[in-house]
Structure 1
Amino acid sequence: MSRRVLLVEDDRELRSTWQAALALEGFAVRTAASLAEAQALWRHAGEAPPELVILDLGLPDGEGEDFLAQVRRQGQVPVLIVSARQADAHKIRLLDAGADDYLVKPFSVGELLARMRVAWRHRGTTVNPAALHYRHGEVCIDLTERRVTRAGEPVRLTPTEFGLLARLVRSAGQVVTHRQLLADVWGPEAVEQTQYLRLYMGQLRAKLEAQPSAPRWLLTEPGVGYRLADPADPADPAEPAEDAAAG
């Protein structure tokens, strides 16, 4: 399942840039532009609370430090402070108050992602960088550029087709279960709708496979889920036609 991230940042351009970068990495991102909005999202998260918070300090209606205190009163979700404030005394106070890390703006998206992985690792959870490029035989996929080609020719995908393919690319070589794919691409309310997968996987195979009935890249794991062939294994065999049809 996609890890849930709450991004609290009032700068619209930064918020949009970071949200897009995190979504590309496979995170489920909710955003807030004010203290009140962040508090409301936190209160109404229900059974799916954020698993990490990225928190700006200077918000239009208050201080992010107040939200940090609220989060710490209710649990140990990792919190990364992002701020233009550079004073050591300020950083130390926030870290002592429970922040996991403090990043001084400006910083790269790559550094933000690395700090997120470190924060999760300190809590015993390993989150590996997502694969954003895939090449196997005639098929080339670049998630960063949203570009898919087959034998050098561009392949046009619908947003849902691209979302499904991107989820498989991020776990290339590994089986992704039906429920994981449905939750990550269509949302948690769709985890029983396996007909969506059959339909869209058929459409992807028609566009990417030389023989859709005997696919070489978009593989079925019967009764479990789907797998994008390991790019490190050029000999990954095609599926029998009956397996593909059942997928």
Structure 2
Amino acid sequence: MGARILVAEDDHKQAELVRRYLEREGHGVFVVRDGRSALDEARRRSPDLLILDVMMPRVDGLDVCRILRSETDVPIIMLTARSTEDDLLLGLDLGADDYITKPYSPRELVARVRTVLRRSGRFSAEGELPYRIGELQVDTVRHEVRLGERRVEVTPAEFKILECLAASPGRAFSRQYLLEQAFGFEHYVLDRTVDVHVMNLRRKIEPDPAAPTYVQTVYGVGYRMADTVGDDAQSAERMEASDAT
């Protein structure tokens, strides 16, 4: 069961795109167009997370954030066209949990939503959703990896690497960072070790390990998880193309 997410965005096309992406993740989404309605709906529905545009009619997003933060600990992700450091710090000082500058990828927003929901602790272990990219699912509750209906056997180190990558699709991680996630700071291991684990993961989850579609190499940096794969990628392209028309 997904989260209940309130989206406060006065741009109709942007709000619809965000709604569709989040619903594809299994969340229940409610959309409002102004700050006054955001306050009313947040109080009425008690959402698990609020996505809040800064520039809105009636009451702006910063005031909505300030008011709600005095009443509730609901996680808040701010959306803004403002890109200065002062604006970002102001939003965080008012109590926002994350801050995304426009224009942004809806897939990036979905990844941020996953991270904020898990970090907030509002979902018990039983309520957490698996990370899903295409047919690949990484279930942190059951400590289980599935490819479609098939369960994939992975080692603890492979699971840690896969969990880190799947939590932030599209983000590049250095080999050193992935090693720290898999083995901790107290162990000394070579960077080459992560390459071996990734090679073994690809053998287990990739349709063609020689041309990986899930775990991608970022040359000179390390690895990243594809943000969409197969049918999901085609669907995302259609959704974004439709929004652009």
Give the TM-score band, short-chain normalised.
0.5 to 0.7
Counterpart-to-counterpart distance in 1, 2:129 and 2:76: 16
Contact 2:2 2:129 in 1 (8 A): no
Q: Does 1:116 align with 2:113?
A: yes
Q: Deviations over 1:32-58 (max 9, x none)?
A: 10112112212322xxx1000100011
- The amino acid that maps onto 2:131 is P
Identity of aligned residues (%): 30
Alpha-carbon deviations, 1:5-36, whole Å to 9, x = none?
A: 00000000000111011011100000110112
Matched residue type, 1:112: L
- Where in structure 1 do 4 or more consecutive aligned residues deviate above 3 Å? 124-128, 130-134
Q: 2: CA distance between counterparts of 1:36 and 1:53? A: 14
Contact 2:53 2:61 in 1 (8 A): yes
Give unpaired runs (5+ residues) of structure 2. Answer: 153-245
Offset of 1:60 from its aligned partner?
Answer: 1.9
| Kept after mapping to 2: 8 A contact 1:117/1:128 | no
Rounded Cα–Cα distance in structure 2 between residues aligned with 1:86 and 1:230: 40
Asked if residue 57 in structure 1 is aligned to residue 59 in structure 2, the reply is no
Amino acid at match of 1:102: Y
How far has the Cα of 1:70 moved from its partner?
A: 2.1
Maintained 8 Å contact 2:9/2:33: yes
Question: How far apart in 1 are the matches of 2:13 and 2:106?
Answer: 13
Secondary structure at the residue paired with 2:31?
strand
Query: In structure 1, how many angstroms separate the alpha carbons of the residues matched to 2:148 and 2:54?
Result: 43
Partner of 2:37: 37
Distance in 1 (CA, whole Å) between partners of 2:52 and 2:13 is: 15
Aligned residue number for residue 205 of structure 1: none
Give the alignment partner of residue 89 of structure 1, picking from 86, 108, 116. Answer: 86
Name the SS for the 2:131 alignment partner. coil
1:74 aligned partner:
71
Q: Offset of 1:233 from its aligned partner?
A: 5.5
Higher helix share: 2
The answer for the alignment partner of 1:19 in structure 2 is 19
Alignment correspondent of 1:240: none
Instruction: Answer whether contact 1:68 1:99 (CA < 8 A) is retained.
Output: yes
- The one-letter amino acid paired with 2:68 is V
Q: SS in structure 2 opposite 1:85?
A: coil
Name the amino acid aligned to 2:150. A
Q: Distance in 2 between matches of 1:82 and 1:4?
A: 18
Paired amino acid for 1:41: E
Aligned partners of 2:99, 2:120: CA distance in 1, in Å?
A: 17
Q: RMSD between aligned alpha carbons?
A: 2.7
Of 91-100 and 124-133, deviating more is 124-133
Which structure 1 segments of 5+ residues have no match? 135-168, 175-228, 235-247
Deviations 1:100-122 (A, max 9, x none): 11100111112111111221232
Partner of 2:9: 9
1:103 to 2:105 alignment: no
Whole-angstrom CA distance in 2 between matches of 1:27 and 1:12 = 19
Q: Read off the aligned partner of 1:231 and give its amino acid letter.
A: E
* TM-score, with structure 1 as normaliser: 0.52
Q: Which aligned pairs between 1:101-180 and structure 2 lie closer than 5 A?
A: 101-124=98-121, 125=123, 126-130=128-132, 133=135
Which has the higher Rg, Structure 1 or Structure 2? 1
- Distance in 2 between the 1:42 and 1:80 partners? 14
TM-score normalised to the size of structure 2? 0.52
